[in-house]
A and B are shown apart, each in its own frame.
Chain A
Amino acid sequence: MSGIIEPSGIAVSLAEPEPRRLRLDAKAIAAIVILVVFALVALAGRFLPLDPGAIDVTKIFAPPSASHWLGHDDAGRDVLIQLVIGAWPSLVVGLSAAAVAVLIGGTLGVLAGYSRGWLDLVLLRLMDYFIVVPALPFAMVITAIWGPGLGHLIIVIGILLWSTTARVVRAQVKSGRERLYVQRAQALGAGHLHILLRHILPQVIPLIGTTGSLAVALAILTQAALEFFGLAGTGVLSWGTMIRFAFQRDAMLNDAWWFVVPPGLCICIVITACYWLAQSLEKALNPRLSTTDLRVRSFSLRSAREGA
């Protein structure tokens, strides 16, 4: 062996260039716990024999009580049971729509970012147009053509949201393909497919986590809005439709806050959890975002001890 002169061990790098392991902070853990709890509730609503339609005429707009924690609605139905059952469609539509958005956005984003020239330009324009499509009128037109339904709702929301993901992915791919190790692969004779799979996609996938969780939040919000306006069909009980029913049946006039607040709060909590998750993923992937220290003196003193 021809000697390696480097004194190994002396040059300890203080800043590891790219952290391999994702370290999640308290916020992310809280978000994950919240989302898991909601997912379990949704599963329970799906598979437990609960009947949201059970009418009790003696309990119209009955306030919360020990046996019915969230009271009753205008027809004397238990709100808690509705809430539990409504969780499943809310979360499923949110997740599926986000998945559709990320799938379309990710594919077109990679395509646009990797190809230079006209294809990039065309796709970029397309993204611009979709970013300014107004959600409600678009959804109204689509439901008018296709008819209402959960599946349609998922596609509509997916179409409304993909362009955000696409832009973020495109930017990442664009800078990623300029990396020296991509050039090195080219110089080694690698083809486009090899470069995309081995070098570009691994850079993009962590991004999908952040934009994906944002997309879930936005999808749930959009869904609630569309349902509130009755664009999701009537057959499904979800948080959005619950708020709509409450509004239509004068819950507020009867001071029945327990009919409106719980579904609204559930939407808020899930969205907040998604945002938290996105934020801490972003922070974990991009540690430079959080290194501001404006103190005059940020280091700490150590009492003099015998030098080594």
Chain B
Amino acid sequence: MPLVEVEKLNVWMAAGGREVHAVQDASLTLEPGGQLAIVGESGSGKSTLLMALMGLLPPNATVSGRVIVDGVDVLEGPEQALAALRWRTVSMVFQASSNPLNPVRTIGHQLRQVLVFHGLPSAEARDRARELLEMVRLPAATEHYYPHQLSGGMRQRAVIALALACRPKLLLADEPTTALDPIVQAEIVELILSLKKSLGLALVLVSHDLALVRRMEGDLAVMLGGKIVEYGPLARLMAKPGHEHLRTLIAALPDFGEAGRDKVAAPGGGS
């Protein structure tokens, strides 16, 4: 049975008297331990789709279709099941700049708080918190630090540790590296991929940056204007892109070889 099943999902957002069809007839599946990259530009509906997987849509949203995550009907099932699904089965890593950490608590405190809230005795929570920091390759002393004392990359590692606290089966990452430096970006993606492998997580990674996700395995969904315009195994699509939009994205990938030289400068520079 697939872990995630999205069938003909539609999301409409009401804004200022208009209605935007933010996600149009999206269908996806993800097996346990699988990987899915969703690539699209701002406004393409990729974040809305991701939020729908957790049932985290705003009050101005109306939806139709079916979203089943780990056997729970996210859109229509009982609310308790949905509440239990969040964080325990599915957890989420947001954009680096959104910074979901509490500024006045140490990293260790925040980790333990989550663990205790989800029913771990405090002594065990202490050990588990250390284990989590080690997993995301943060020094043990990070426990005693406040978020502002960490660099952007370290903060994002702490956020990942927090997301993994309850041993979820599915990790959703929404632009997890935007606003970070290129080297730190690569490190964070590598960390997520290696954790995915060692913990057997299923992973959905949303990004506007094809360069970032092209090292992933599994499936790729390309969104444009609310529609999934391309969906299939990532390796196959990268080799044989069908849709024009994906072809443009692939053409824009950084390539520091001879061939790439005049790709950007050409259009207006020739005259």
- Which chain B residues lie closer than 8 Å to A307 at the CB level? 8, 10, 24-25
Residues of A within 8 A of B257 (CB): none
| Chain A contacts for B8, CB-based, 8 A | 304, 307
Whether the pair B57, A298 counts as a contact (CB closer than 8 A) is yes
CA distance A52 to B58 in the complex (A): 59
Interface pair B55/A297, CB less than 8 Å apart = yes
Chain A residues contacting B235 (CB-CB under 8 Å) are none
Chain A neighbourhood of B75, CB < 8 A: 301
CB contact list, B25-72 vs A, under 8 A: 25, 41-44, 55, 57-59, 61-65
B109 CB-CB contact with A under 8 Å: no
Is the pair B57, A301 in contact by a Cβ cutoff of 8 Å? no
* Known pairs A2-B267, A307-B8; A301 contacts B79 (CB<8 A): no
Indicate if the CB atoms of A302 and B16 lie closer than 8 Å.
no
B119 is an interface residue with CB less than 8 A from chain A? no
**Cβ–Cβ contact B57 & A299, under 8 A:** yes
**How far apart are B231's CB and chain A's nearest CB, in angstroms?**
16
Q: Does A305 contact B (CB under 8 A)?
A: yes
Q: How far is the CA of A215 from the CA of B93 in the complex (A)?
A: 45
A residues within 8 A CB of B62?
A: 299-302
- Judge whether A11 is part of the interface by a CB distance below 8 angstroms: yes
**Is the CB of A144 closer than 8 A to any CB of chain B?**
no
Question: In the docked arrangement, what's the CA distance between A299 and B57, Å?
Answer: 6
Chain B residues within 8 Å of chain A by Cβ, number: 35
Tell whether, in the assembled complex, residue A296 and residue B55 are in contact, meaning their CB atoms are under 8 Å apart.
yes
A298 touches B58 (CB 8 A): yes
A7, CB-defined interface residue at 8 Å: yes
User: Does A180 lie at the interface of the complex (its beta carbon under 8 Å from any beta carbon of B)?
Assistant: no
Nearest CB on A from B30, distance (A) = 21
A10 interfacial by beta-carbon distance below 8 Å: yes
Chain B residues 4 to 31 lying within 8 A of chain A, measured CB to CB, are 8, 10-13, 15-16, 18, 20-22, 24-25
Total cross-chain contacts (CB, 8 A): 68
Whether a CB of chain B sits under 8 angstroms from the CB of A293 is yes
Given contacts A307-B8, A307-B25, contact A299 B76 (CB under 8 A): no
* Given A2-B268, A302-B10, CB of A12 within 8 Å of CB of B64: no
Mark out the residues of chain A between 1 and 43 whose CB falls within 8 Å of any chain B CB in the assembled complex. 2, 7, 10-16
CB distance from A22 to the nearest CB of B (A): 15
In the docked arrangement, what's the CA distance between A7 and B229, Å? 15
Taking a contact as CB atoms under 8 Å apart, the answer to whether B59 and A14 are in contact is no
User: In the complex, which residue of chain B has the Cβ closest to the Cβ of A19?
Assistant: B16
Interface string of A267-308 (1 = CB under 8 A from B): 000000000000000000000000001001111111111011
| CB within 8 Å for A301 and B21 given contacts A10-B225, A16-B16 | no
A-B contact pairs, 26 of them (CB 8 A): A7-B225, A11-B41, A12-B15, A13-B43, A14-B13, A15-B15, A16-B15, A293-B59, A296-B55, A296-B82, A297-B55, A297-B82, A298-B57, A299-B11, A299-B61, A300-B59, A300-B63, A301-B63, A301-B64, A301-B76, A302-B12, A302-B62, A302-B63, A302-B64, A303-B64, A308-B25
Q: Is the Cβ of B79 less than 8 Å from the Cβ of A297?
A: yes
A298 touches B59 (CB 8 A): yes
Cα(A16)–Cα(B60), bound, Å? 14
Contacts of B55 in A (CB 8 A): 296-297, 299
With a cutoff of 8 Å between Cβ atoms, the chain B residues found around residue A303 in the complex are 64
Closest residue of A by beta carbon distance from B248 = A5
8 Å CB contact of A305 from B22, B44, B64? B64
Most interface-central of A293, A297, A299 (chain B CB within 10 A):
A299
CB distance from B23 to the nearest CB of A (A): 11
**B267 touching A304, Cβ below 8 Å:** no
- Mask, A153-167, CB within 8 Å of B = 1, is 000000000000000
Contacts known (A14-B20, A15-B15, A296-B83); A304 close to B61, Cβ less than 8 A = no
A-B pairs, 9 with minimum CB distance: A11-B43, A299-B57, A299-B61, A307-B25, A296-B79, A298-B59, A302-B62, A10-B225, A302-B64
